[in-house]
Amino acid sequence: MLKMFCPDMYLDNIYDIDIEYIKKKNIKGLLIDLDNTLLPWNCCIIDQDLRDWVKKCKKYGLSLCIVSNNRARRINECAKELQIPAVTRAIKPRKKAFLKGLSILGIEKNQVAVIGDQIFTDIFGAKRMGIFAILVKPVCNREFVWTRLMRKFEGIILKLMIRKGLISMIK
């Protein structure tokens, strides 16, 4: 049961992702959460580091697609700025949005990684589909009230997974 919530990688942030390593795992695309994964929650200011990271992923041949539970307008603005497609109002952990992301990228689920900052939406959503899942620490601690509440449960599960040795890569 715990395995359904267990990320394949747990990192400080997206910049710690070893792109060469995931390329070796035959991963061709990334389905990425936006809020508190790429950008602070409800923020649309894209800095140079993020632009460079997106460019680097593309250079390595990775296709990117944002998959966000947030409302369409803001997500689409950010996606346009970064020149990557987006699936909005995703209702993660439901499978539908991930499937839509896969069809946009034109790849199979075993060729993609999901990246996100929340265990119960991003990671659980990925694992229930058998997708490689990368958990990152939230970019900032400002977030939706409900998310803040869920963090308490996430914290408990994370500690348990670490104690059981289920999470292998921790920074």
Using the minimum distance from each CB to Mg ion, give the nearer residue, 63 or 118. Answer: 118
Nearer to Mg ion among residue 67 and residue 102 (C-beta): 67
Binding site for Mg ion (CB under 5 A): 33, 35-37, 117
- In the complex, what is the shortest distance from the CB of residue 20 to Mg ion, in angstroms, rounded to a whole number? 25
Minimum distance of Mg ion from residue 18's CB (angstroms): 21
The CA distance from 154 to 134, in Å, is 15
Query: Measured from the CB atom, is 37 or 63 closer to Mg ion?
Result: 37
Helical segments of the chain, H only: 19-24, 48-59, 72-82, 95-105, 124-127, 145-163
**Least separation in angstroms between CB 118 and Mg ion:** 5
Closest C-alpha among 21, 46, 19 to residue 34? 46
Rounded to a whole number of angstroms, the minimum distance from the CB of residue 26 to Mg ion is 26
DSSP notation for 15-54: GG--HHHHHHTT--EEEE--BTTTBSTT-----HHHHHHH
For Mg ion, give the closer residue by CB, 117 or 154. 117
